[in-house]
């Protein structure tokens, strides 16, 4: 059998070929990896099964060498210059000739281009193309991560020129054909450090037939007015697909002139927007919606903290300073309460998995790690964004227009079986059938809420579900319990939202938006590479070319699918890069805490040890099984615990232990703990800090710093495969046991939309904008919270 795919290297020297045809990954032993490098595209022949039962391959052809530069430290050993790659998936050091140093000095972090690839008998040879600086320079961890994961961090010269040529304000000609909402008291509500404002909101009471309800206006930055298909700005935005948010630094999808300026809904200035204008009844049901282009002026820039304070005390200083806007904020809270009621009625999942945030000092070094708190203002905005996103998906679906849906499918049978088995051992009596509903998961979360291991149970529930993806094939959103869901509310930082705006505008104009990304990008995607040359030729001329893994009916749909895969992959890439930076910062933070003792809770159990998160510092590390005592421990996957054969001592999720920080590895982003006590300790000890007790430092096998709480396709309870493989190469003493007609929203007095005539004059309209895209809702469309979310995601 012949398989084509991308090589994924491993720090232990072997590799995997990730099949482009969707077949099982192929194992490459270390001797095969000597001739290839991480990210090369190869053709392999299956020759046997390895000891784990995986297909083992032999490289028969290198189809394409990776062009990504390799980042690492420049070293000189015995008069020979070499690069020690920062990414340990590059298993070999890279030789650097003395005439290819580019002025770099030993110890500096550099970027190297491969001049001569690896061969079975020789190391790869490279040349220095960029000097990044010293390893411990502030911000170096971000510079490394963006290059390590291939995150585009420089805009093309063409895109920069196009952005510079844009005006700094809304021009009169841009107002033509739009509705004037400048007198509507729309406001933005964001975090304290936010600089790109995608969305503004307004709400007022409204009559819906014979019942009371609300008119909710969600105005979203009209990025599509400035970023046109095929422009350099559009190409760069598609290549990035998303903004990447690191601690203290953002890699934006669009140049700052747009992201923080012309497109950002900054206060007291006119901005172009796309509006989702909705009628919602007192039960939180979306009764009607419409879309239209408008011009607006944000009346205030609120923070979540300010709005939460106003909602809590309408006579407090924050409320007094914004007295004229307080009634509108209270209306927003009322519609939020209604949406929340409908969400609970619908049974959408709301898993309580704590998130942390890294607070850095002026130099970029980590100052502290704190829990990310969510108040009522966060939830209010989330609900408003979700109902607008649902309206957008419904509009696309009713119009039979292609677009990208945000699809989140339910748990796989394998993961569901593991989750059921684990819950049974805990005595949690919640039924999860073969085809569970979102409400079943929510009932489970509610049942576990008061348990000491509630956080871990929620994390395991999250892992049991599949990842949310972008695709033109709508199959609903399991976590949100929506029949159709798309992304509309963040076009400044997400490319799928920009595509949704273009599709909606095309529908409003009576046409269709034809997605035509650059051929070079489309043909570079795995889904397209897997097709035959004949199919690719058809794709280029507009013929039919069914992509894999889903069957499409046209080349147009094939392109939407390819772009959806691209956006999904780049979303994962952004997550990996940010996790890498956060892990490095946490290791840096723990360097001066070697020997100190802290209380933590067990967050994961594996055959090679237990992972513990410190209660006060929110940092995770490994206690290797060799640190648990001299006896033999058996790993019970069903119970997710380690059990001592002689004493019967058990280590399971949620258990509190006292640990000592024994080793920190910056290069590997890993922290090791040593077990001090496995009995519950007093609160005084749990708050151990800089003055806590110190003991002799010990070193043990290393494992990943953090267990990502994502919904990957690995085992429900296991860590990433590289962690298990790394630990498996060390001595261990454990084994696994077998163990209706559209109705326009009514007007609102002074807040009525006014058509702006091309001559510049305006006339009032007693109802919603004429000709705006509108529809009655055909299903329950209140909001929920996604289970496959990003940290900064306001709308999942």
Please write the tens of the pLDDT for every residue from 762-779: 333 334 454 456 555 443
CB 222 within 8 A of CB 213: no
Task: Report whether the peptide linkage leading into residue 713 is cis, meaning its omega lies within 30 degrees of zero.
Answer: no
Buried b (16+ CB within 10 A) or exposed e, 87-123: bbbbbbbbbbeeebbeebeeebbbbbebeebbeeeee
- The model's confidence at residue 524, banded by pLDDT at 50, 70 and 90, is low
Residue 25 is given by DSSP the state P
Q: DSSP H helical segments within 623-717, as ranges?
A: 683-686
Q: How far apart are the first and last CA of the chain?
A: 40
What pLDDT, on a 0 to 100 scale, did the predictor assign at position 362? 79
Cα–Cα distance for residue pair 718/637, rounded to 1 Å: 9
Instruction: Give mean pLDDT, residues 339-363.
Output: 87
Pull the structure tokens for residue 520.
């070079």
Which helix H or strand E contains 644, and what residues bound it?
strand 641-644
Q: How far is CA 652 from the centre of its chain?
A: 29
What pLDDT, on a 0 to 100 scale, did the predictor assign at position 767? 47
What pLDDT, on a 0 to 100 scale, did the predictor assign at position 47? 94
Please write the tens of the pLDDT for every residue from 199-245: 999 999 999 999 999 999 999 999 999 999 999 999 999 999 999 99
What pLDDT, on a 0 to 100 scale, did the predictor assign at position 757? 32
Pull the structure tokens for residue 459.
């994390």
Report the range of poorest mean pLDDT among 191-195, 525-529, 572-576, 605-609: 525-529
Pull the structure tokens for residue 254.
């669009």
CB 97 within 8 A of CB 123: no
Q: Which of 490, 577, 578 is nearest to 794 (CA)?
A: 490
What pLDDT, on a 0 to 100 scale, did the predictor assign at position 303? 97
% the chain with pLDDT above 90: 60
Model pTM score? 0.82
Cα–Cα distance for residue pair 247/139, rounded to 1 Å: 9
Q: Which residue has the higher pLDDT, 121 or 245?
A: 245
Contacts of 259 (CB under 8 A, 6+ apart): 195, 196, 243, 252, 253, 492, 493
Instruction: Give mean pLDDT, residues 132-161.
Output: 94
Please write the tens of the pLDDT for every residue from 24-77: 899 999 999 999 999 999 999 999 988 888 899 999 999 999 989 999 999 999
Residue 258 is given by DSSP the state I
Three-class secondary structure of residue 250 per DSSP: strand
What pLDDT, on a 0 to 100 scale, did the predictor assign at position 516? 85
Please write the tens of the pLDDT for every residue from 412-456: 888 888 888 888 877 787 778 888 899 888 888 888 888 877 888
- The model's confidence at residue 536, banded by pLDDT at 50, 70 and 90, is very low
Please write the tens of the pLDDT for every residue from 10-29: 988 999 999 877 778 999 99
3-state secondary structure 179-208: EEECCCCCEEEECCCCCCCCEEEEEEEEEE
Count the helices and strands in the chain (H runs, E runs): 19, 35
Cα–Cα distance for residue pair 228/236, rounded to 1 Å: 12
Q: Which residue has the higher pLDDT, 462 or 566?
A: 566
What pLDDT, on a 0 to 100 scale, did the predictor assign at position 167? 95
Rounded to the nearest 10 degrees, the angle between the axes of helix 495-508 and helix 555-590 is 150
CB 679 within 8 A of CB 603: no
- The model's confidence at residue 539, banded by pLDDT at 50, 70 and 90, is very low
User: 764: how many CB neighbours lie within 10 A of its CB?
Assistant: 11
Q: For the purposes of burial, counting CB atoms within 10 Å of the CB of 577, is it exposed (0-12), middle (13-18) or buried (19 or more)? A: buried
Domains 2-64 and 594-736 share a fold: yes
Q: How far is CA 103 from the centre of its chain?
A: 38
Q: Quick one: 594-736 is in which CATH superfamily?
A: Nucleic acid-binding proteins (2.40.50.140)
The string of DSSP codes covering 126-147 is EEEEEEEEETTSTTHHHHHHHH
User: 471: how many CB neighbours lie within 10 A of its CB?
Assistant: 19
Report the range of poorest mean pLDDT among 105-109, 142-146, 367-371, 694-698: 694-698
Please enumerate, as own/partner, the contacts of 446-454 that have beta carbons within 8 Å and a separation of 24 or more.
Answer: 449/352, 451/654, 452/654, 453/426, 453/652, 453/653, 453/654, 454/352, 454/654
Q: What is the CA radius of gyration of the chain?
A: 28
What pLDDT, on a 0 to 100 scale, did the predictor assign at position 217? 98
Cα–Cα distance for residue pair 26/29, rounded to 1 Å: 10
CATH dotted code for 70-135: 2.40.50.700
Please enumerate, as own/partner, the contacts of 723-730 that have beta carbons within 8 Å and a separation of 24 or more.
Answer: 723/606, 724/606, 724/607, 724/608, 725/10, 725/12, 726/11, 726/12, 726/701, 726/702, 727/606, 727/607, 727/608, 727/609, 727/624, 727/701, 727/703, 728/608, 729/12, 730/608, 730/624, 730/701
What pLDDT, on a 0 to 100 scale, did the predictor assign at position 630? 83
Report the range of poorest mean pLDDT among 74-78, 297-301, 725-729: 725-729
User: In the predicted model, what is the mean pLDDT of the chain?
Assistant: 82
pLDDT tops 50 at residue 788: no
Residue 221 is given by DSSP the state E
Report the range of poorest mean pLDDT among 246-250, 619-623, 660-664, 690-694: 690-694
User: Which stretches does DSSP call E strand in 490-582?
Assistant: none
- The model's confidence at residue 181, banded by pLDDT at 50, 70 and 90, is very high
Rounded to the nearest 10 degrees, the angle between the axes of helix 555-590 and helix 140-148 is 150
Q: DSSP H helical segments within 591-673, as ranges?
A: none
Pull the structure tokens for residue 476.
């609903």
What pLDDT, on a 0 to 100 scale, did the predictor assign at position 183? 96
pLDDT tops 90 at residue 745: no
Instruction: Give mean pLDDT, residues 381-404.
Output: 97
Q: How far is CA 654 from the centre of its chain?
A: 26
pLDDT tops 60 at residue 341: yes
Residue 35 is given by DSSP the state S
CB 193 within 8 A of CB 267: no
Cα–Cα distance for residue pair 206/204, rounded to 1 Å: 6
Cα–Cα distance for residue pair 262/255, rounded to 1 Å: 10
Pull the structure tokens for residue 377.
């203002």
Please write the tens of the pLDDT for every residue from 218-228: 999 999 999 99
CB 482 within 8 A of CB 781: yes
What pLDDT, on a 0 to 100 scale, did the predictor assign at position 452? 78
2-64 CATH pick, 1.20.58.220, 3.20.20.70, 3.90.1300.10, 2.40.50.140: 2.40.50.140
Cα–Cα distance for residue pair 66/52, rounded to 1 Å: 28
Instruction: Give mean pLDDT, residues 616-633.
Output: 92
CB 262 within 8 A of CB 147: no
Three-class secondary structure of residue 463 per DSSP: helix
What pLDDT, on a 0 to 100 scale, did the predictor assign at position 101? 96
Cα–Cα distance for residue pair 612/623, rounded to 1 Å: 7
Q: How far is CA 171 from the centre of its chain?
A: 35
CB 279 within 8 A of CB 211: no
- The model's confidence at residue 744, banded by pLDDT at 50, 70 and 90, is very low
Task: Report whether the peptide linkage leading into residue 549 is cis, meaning its omega lies within 30 degrees of zero.
Answer: yes
Report the range of poorest mean pLDDT among 401-415, 430-444, 532-546: 532-546
What pLDDT, on a 0 to 100 scale, did the predictor assign at position 283? 96
Three-class secondary structure of residue 366 per DSSP: strand
CB 387 within 8 A of CB 199: no
The count of residues in the chain is: 796
What pLDDT, on a 0 to 100 scale, did the predictor assign at position 776? 52
What pLDDT, on a 0 to 100 scale, did the predictor assign at position 794? 55
Q: Which of 213, 230, 225 is nearest to 271 (CA)?
A: 225
Pull the structure tokens for residue 94.
């890279």
Q: Which residues are bridge partners to 694 per DSSP?
A: 596
What pLDDT, on a 0 to 100 scale, did the predictor assign at position 412? 86
Q: Which residue has the higher pLDDT, 410 or 429?
A: 410
pLDDT tops 70 at residue 530: no
Domain range list for the chain: 2-64, 70-135, 410-465, 594-736
């Amino acid at each position: 059998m012949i398989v084509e795919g991308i090589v994924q290297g491993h720090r232990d020297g072997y590799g995997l070929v990730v099949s482009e045809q969707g077949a099982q990954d192929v194992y490459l032993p270390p001797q095969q990896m000597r001739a290839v490098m991480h990210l090369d595209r190869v053709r392999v022949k299956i020759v046997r099964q390895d000891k784990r039962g995986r297909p083992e391959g032999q490289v028969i052809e290198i189809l394409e060498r990776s062009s990504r530069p390799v980042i690492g430290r420049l070293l000189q050993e015995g008069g020979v210059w070499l690069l020690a790659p920062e990414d340990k998936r590059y298993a070999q050091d890279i030789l650097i000739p003395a005439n290819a140093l580019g002025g770099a000095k030993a110890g500096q972090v550099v970027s190297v281009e491969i001049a001569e690839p690896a061969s079975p008998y020789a190391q790869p040879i490279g040349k220095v193309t960029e000097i990044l600086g010293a390893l411990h320079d502030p911000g170096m961890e971000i510079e490394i991560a963006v290059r390590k994961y291939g995150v585009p961090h420089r805009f093309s010269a063409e895109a920069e020129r196009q952005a510079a040529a844009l005006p700094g304000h809304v021009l009169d000609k841009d107002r033509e054909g739009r509705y004037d909402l400048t007198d509507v008291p729309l406001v933005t509500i964001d975090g304290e450090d936010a600089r790109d404002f995608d969305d503004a909101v307004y709400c007022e009471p409204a009559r819906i037939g014979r019942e009371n309800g609300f008119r909710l206006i969600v105005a979203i930055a009209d990025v599509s007015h400035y970023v046109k298909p095929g422009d350099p700005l559009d190409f760069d935005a598609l290549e990035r697909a998303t903004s990447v948010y690191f601690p203290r630094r953002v890699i934006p999808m669009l140049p700052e002139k747009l992201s923080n300026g012309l497109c950002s809904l900054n206060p007291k200035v006119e901005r172009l927007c796309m509006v989702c204008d909705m009628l919602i009844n007192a039960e939180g049901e979306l009764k009607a919606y419409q879309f239209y282009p408008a011009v607006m002026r944000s009346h205030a820039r609120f923070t979540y903290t300010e709005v939460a304070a106003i909602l809590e005390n309408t006579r407090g200083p924050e409320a007094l300073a914004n007295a004229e806007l307080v009634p509108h904020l209270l209306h927003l809270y009322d519609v939020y309460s209604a949406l929340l009621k409908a969400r609970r009625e619908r049974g959408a999942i709301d898993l309580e998995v704590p998130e942390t945030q890294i607070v850095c000092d002026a130099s970029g070094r980590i100052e502290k790690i704190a829990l990310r708190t969510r108040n009522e203002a966060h939830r209010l905005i989330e609900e408003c964004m979700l109902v607008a996103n649902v309206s957008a998906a419904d509009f696309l679906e009713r119009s039979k227009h292609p677009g990208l849906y945000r699809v989140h499918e339910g748990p796989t049978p394998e993961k569901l079986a593991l989750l059921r088995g684990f819950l049974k051992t805990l005595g949690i009596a919640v039924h999860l059938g073969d085809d569970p509903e979102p409400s079943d998961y929510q009932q489970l979360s509610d049942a576990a809420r008061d348990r000491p291991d509630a956080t871990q149970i929620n994390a395991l529930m999250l892992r049991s579900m599949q990842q949310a993806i972008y695709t033109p094939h709508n199959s609903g959103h399991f976590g949100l319990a929506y029949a159709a869901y798309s992304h509309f509310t963040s076009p400044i930082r997400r490319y799928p939202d920009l595509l949704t705006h273009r599709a909606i505008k095309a529908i409003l104009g009576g046409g269709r938006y034809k997605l035509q990304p650059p051929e070079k990008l489309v043909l570079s995607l795995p889904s397209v590479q897997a097709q035959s040359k004949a199919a690719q030729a058809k794709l280029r001329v507009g013929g039919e070319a069914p992509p894999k893994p889903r069957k499409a009916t046209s080349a147009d749909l094939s392109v939407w699918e390819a772009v959806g895969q691209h956006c999904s992959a780049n979303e994962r890439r952004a997550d990996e890069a940010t996790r890498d930076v956060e892990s490095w910062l946490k290791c840096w933070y723990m360097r001066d805490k070697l020997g100190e003792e802290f209380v933590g809770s067990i967050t994961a159990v594996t055959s090679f040890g237990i992972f513990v998160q410190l209660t006060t510092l929110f940092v995770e590390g490994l206690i290797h099984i060799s640190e648990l005592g001299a006896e033999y421990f058996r790993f019970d996957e069903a119970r997710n615990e380690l059990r001592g054969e002689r004493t019967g001592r058990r280590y399971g999720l949620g258990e509190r232990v006292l640990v000592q920080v024994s080793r920190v590895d910056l290069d590997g982003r890993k922290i090791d703990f040593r077990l001090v006590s496995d009995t519950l300790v007093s609160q005084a000890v749990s708050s151990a800090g800089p003055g806590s007790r110190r003991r002799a430092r010990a070193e043990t096998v290393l494992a990943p710093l953090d267990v990502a709480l994502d919904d990957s396709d690995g085992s429900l309870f296991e860590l990433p495969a590289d962690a298990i493989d790394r630990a498996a190469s060390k001595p261990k003493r454990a084994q696994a046991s077998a163990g209706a007609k559209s109705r326009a929203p009514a007007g609102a007095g002074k807040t009525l939309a006014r058509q702006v005539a091309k001559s510049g004059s305006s006339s009032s309209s007693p109802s919603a904008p004429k000709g705006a895209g509108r529809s009655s809702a055909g299903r329950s469309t209140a909001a929920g919270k996604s289970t496959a979310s990003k940290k900064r995601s306001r709308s999942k």
